[in-house]
């Protein structure tokens, strides 16, 4: 298990982990390595969290109206009247169309689009950019579902999945996407999404940090030149991701979905490349995945511009492992659990569920036990072998505190070492949604169960005891080493 020094503060505690970078000696990869190494220079600083809204990108879009070589068009409006903008640059004969945030809660690539635009606008990489912009014309639609983005939800205001609206075109957002695709008659289309962080590359413990699909255009899953070109681009992009997140790429099932935009865009003659941003260790805001989007998409645009993708063998497309969904945030193995006088051995799979704060600009975690029993075919971002450890229920702190300010002065680690994980407080502020300390804040009427019953759906809060000593606490799904004061933690709960 990776260890991070445990720190208590009133701010969110996070730690991002980057995979070791491998620089290839292949000359064709030089631009990729250079893009990765210089990324921070082009990263759009105003977009540093996933929960971005329509207003957050308007100034960024408007600045390109006055920049030489760029055009910005209002190509439609959402149901609630928010503008849908298309930013275009380049003079090449090959048309490349990129659209993002068809689902309002999938913004990773939206951020990467503005990083790419910063790159294109810079004075760096002049030769490469001249090659790109003289051979291709790029069209960016950064946020297709701004109404969904406003409340960080998948569907639009009509309550439909825009990605299943390619036939009926019930939504103005779907009609806009169809209209733009048709007007451009784009050669390549990048359909940019986020997927669950719980997907893994099949038969491995590695998250599917990025997943791809060259959608089928018929039930037979035929491969014509259009779909074949999409496969070639995906093979190329996979080779790039493997440098920085080795083994962390998945491939979606390609069963034909006649209502989906990707499948139909492929059918309409645009080589459609679906990119899904998944999970990465300790990257809750997906900023490392954003960087991988930036590097791989720009590199793909470069290979499209110089035509080198044409020589790629599509046989390698099928070698990308399929997406599976067998990851937990925390997996606890071989746990001893006493129930009705008998000792059982269990595995626990824990998910940390994001709960949006008011305004949908930030979140807190409410964790649950998602599965228990034999989980030997599942994996965890963190896995702890609890062989020899017994589950113990947490106790209520015997002193009632008057205010949350008093609560925040507690030495939480000392309480945990004594088995106290619930602290009663007389006055809990209405606007306080989560505890920043690794102990739950509870009302004075709260009573903890003396005999803990582990069940799917409950909040995972308990202790792990070995030889009569409480060595670990699990608080709201976060594992904390009590003896070494280590563990990754964001928040506990307010239980009213």
Claim to verify: residue 318 and residue 334 sit in the same structural domain: no
For 120: left if phi > 0, alpha if psi spans -120 to 50, otherwise beta; the answer is alpha
Claim to verify: residue 416 and residue 441 sit in the same structural domain: yes
Q: Which residues contact 438 (CB under 8 A, 6 or more apart)?
A: 8, 412, 413, 416, 473, 475, 478, 480, 489, 492
User: Nearest-CA neighbor of 442 among 424, 456, 427, 454?
Assistant: 424
* Helix (H) or strand (E) segment spanning residue 370: strand 363-373
Cα 201 to Cα 160, 208, 238, 246, 327, distances in angstroms:
29, 5, 13, 11, 10
Chain segment 438-480, per-residue pLDDT in tens? 999 999 999 998 889 999 999 999 999 999 999 999 999 999 9
Claim to verify: residue 196 and residue 86 sit in the same structural domain: yes
User: Nearest-CA neighbor of 304 among 237, 223, 245?
Assistant: 237
What does the pLDDT read at residue 485? Answer: 83
Q: Which residues contact 153 (CB under 8 A, 6 or more apart)?
A: 104, 105
What does the block give as tokens for 85?
Answer: 């903008």
Chain segment 412-449, per-residue pLDDT in tens? 999 999 999 999 999 999 999 999 999 999 999 999 98
* pLDDT(19) > 50: no
As a whole number, mean pLDDT of residues 319-331 equals 98
Neighbours of 456 (CB within 10 A): 12
Domain boundary among 324, 340, 368: 324
The interaxial angle of helices 108-121 and 126-135, nearest 10 deg, is 110
**Nearest 5°: phi and psi at 276?**
-120, 125
Instruction: Establish if 16 belongs to a structural domain.
Output: no
Instruction: Establish if 5 belongs to a structural domain.
Output: no
Question: Would you call 421 helix, strand, or coil by DSSP?
Answer: strand
Q: How many percent of the chain have pLDDT more than 70?
A: 94
* pLDDT(226) > 50: yes
Chain segment 34-54, per-residue pLDDT in tens? 999 999 999 999 999 999 999
Q: Which residues contact 343 (CB under 8 A, 6 or more apart)?
A: 336, 337
Claim to verify: residue 341 and residue 264 sit in the same structural domain: no
> Structural domain tally of the chain?
2
User: Nearest-CA neighbor of 140 among 111, 104, 161?
Assistant: 111
Claim to verify: residue 305 and residue 345 sit in the same structural domain: no
Claim to verify: residue 393 and residue 291 sit in the same structural domain: no
DSSP state of 290: H
Claim to verify: residue 386 and residue 489 sit in the same structural domain: yes
* pLDDT(242) > 60: yes
Q: Domain of 303: which CATH number?
A: 3.40.630.10
What average pLDDT does the structure give for the chain? 93
CA–CA dist 50, 63 (Å, integer): 22
User: Nearest-CA neighbor of 325 among 192, 203, 456, 476?
Assistant: 203
User: Nearest-CA neighbor of 36 among 48, 24, 21?
Assistant: 21
pTM: 0.92
How would you class 453 by CB atoms within 10 Å of its CB: exposed for 0-12, middle for 13-18, buried for 19 or more? Answer: exposed
Chain segment 126-149, per-residue pLDDT in tens? 999 999 999 999 999 999 999 999
Claim to verify: residue 312 and residue 356 sit in the same structural domain: no
Claim to verify: residue 196 and residue 320 sit in the same structural domain: yes
Query: pLDDT band at 16, cuts 50/70/90?
Result: very low
What does the pLDDT read at residue 15? Answer: 29
- Provide the β-strand partners of residue 492: 435
Instruction: Establish if 357 belongs to a structural domain.
Output: yes
Domain boundary among 277, 301, 324: 324
DSSP state of 164: G
What does the block give as tokens for 484?
Answer: 């070494």
Q: Which residues contact 357 (CB under 8 A, 6 or more apart)?
A: 363, 364, 433
Where in the sequence is the domain holding 380, given as residue range(s)? 327-495
Cα 288 to Cα 40, 151, 189, 372, 422, distances in angstroms:
11, 24, 23, 31, 35
Q: Which residues contact 23 (CB under 8 A, 6 or more apart)?
A: 29, 33, 243
Instruction: Establish if 110 belongs to a structural domain.
Output: yes
Instruction: Establish if 378 belongs to a structural domain.
Output: yes
Claim to verify: residue 311 and residue 436 sit in the same structural domain: no
Instruction: Establish if 36 belongs to a structural domain.
Output: yes
**Nearest 5°: phi and psi at 442?**
-130, 165
- Provide the β-strand partners of residue 137: 95
Residue of 2 and 85 predicted with greater confidence: 85
What do you get for the CA distance between the two ends of the chain, in Å?
Answer: 33
Claim to verify: residue 384 and residue 311 sit in the same structural domain: no
């Amino acid at each position: 298990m990776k260890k991070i020094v445990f720190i208590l503060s009133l701010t969110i505690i996070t730690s991002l982990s980057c995979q070791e970078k491998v620089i290839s000696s292949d000359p064709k990869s030089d631009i990729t390595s250079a893009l990765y190494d210089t990324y921070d220079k082009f990263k759009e600083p105003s977009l540093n969290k996933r929960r971005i809204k329509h207003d957050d990108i308007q100034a960024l879009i408007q600045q390109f109206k006055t920049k030489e070589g760029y055009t910005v068009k209002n190509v439609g409006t959402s149901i609630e009247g928010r503008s849908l903008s298309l930013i275009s640059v380049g003079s090449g004969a090959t048309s490349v169309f990129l659209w993002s945030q068809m689902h309002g809660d999938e913004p990773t690539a939206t951020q990467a689009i503005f990083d790419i635009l910063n790159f294109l606008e810079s004075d760096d990489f002049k030769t490469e950019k001249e090659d790109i912009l003289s051979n291709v014309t790029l069209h960016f639609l950064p946020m297709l579902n701004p109404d969904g983005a406003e409340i960080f939800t998948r569907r639009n205001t009509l309550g439909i999945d825009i990605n299943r609206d390619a036939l009926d075109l019930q939504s103005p957002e779907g009609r806009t996407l169809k209209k733009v695709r048709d007007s451009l008659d784009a050669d390549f289309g990048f359909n940019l999404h986020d997927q669950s962080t719980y997907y893994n590359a099949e038969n491995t413990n590695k998250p599917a940090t990025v997943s791809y699909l060259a959608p089928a255009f018929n039930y037979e899953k035929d491969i014509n030149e259009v779909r074949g070109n999409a496969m070639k681009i995906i093979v190329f992009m996979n080779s790039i991701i493997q440098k920085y997140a080795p083994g962390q790429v998945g491939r979606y099932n390609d069963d034909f979905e006649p209502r989906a935009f990707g499948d139909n865009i492929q059918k309409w003659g645009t080589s459609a490349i679906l990119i899904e941003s998944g999970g990465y260790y300790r990257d809750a805001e997906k900023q490392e995945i954003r960087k991988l989007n930036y590097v791989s998409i720009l590199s793909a645009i470069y290979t499209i511009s110089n035509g080198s993708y044409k020589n790629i063998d599509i046989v390698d497309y099928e070698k990308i492992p399929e997406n599976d969904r067998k990851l937990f945030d925390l997996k606890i193995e071989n746990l001893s659990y006493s129930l009705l006088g008998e000792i059982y051995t269990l595995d626990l799979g824990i998910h940390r569920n994001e709960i949006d704060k008011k305004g949908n600009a930030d979140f807190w975690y409410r964790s649950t036990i998602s599965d228990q029993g034999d989980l030997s075919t599942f994996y965890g971002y963190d896995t702890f072998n609890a062989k020899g450890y017994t589950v113990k229920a947490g106790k209520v702190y015997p002193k009632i505190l008057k205010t949350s300010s008093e609560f925040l002065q507690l030495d939480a680690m000392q309480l945990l070492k004594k088995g106290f994980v619930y602290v009663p407080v007389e006055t809990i502020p209405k606007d306080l949604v989560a505890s920043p300390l690794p102990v739950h804040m509870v009302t004075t009427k709260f009573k903890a169960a003396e005999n803990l019953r582990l069940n799917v759906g409950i909040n995972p809060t308990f202790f792990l005891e070995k030889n009569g000593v409480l060595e670990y606490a699990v608080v709201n799904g976060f594992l904390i080493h009590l003896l070494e004061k280590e563990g990754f933690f964001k928040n506990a709960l307010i239980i009213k």
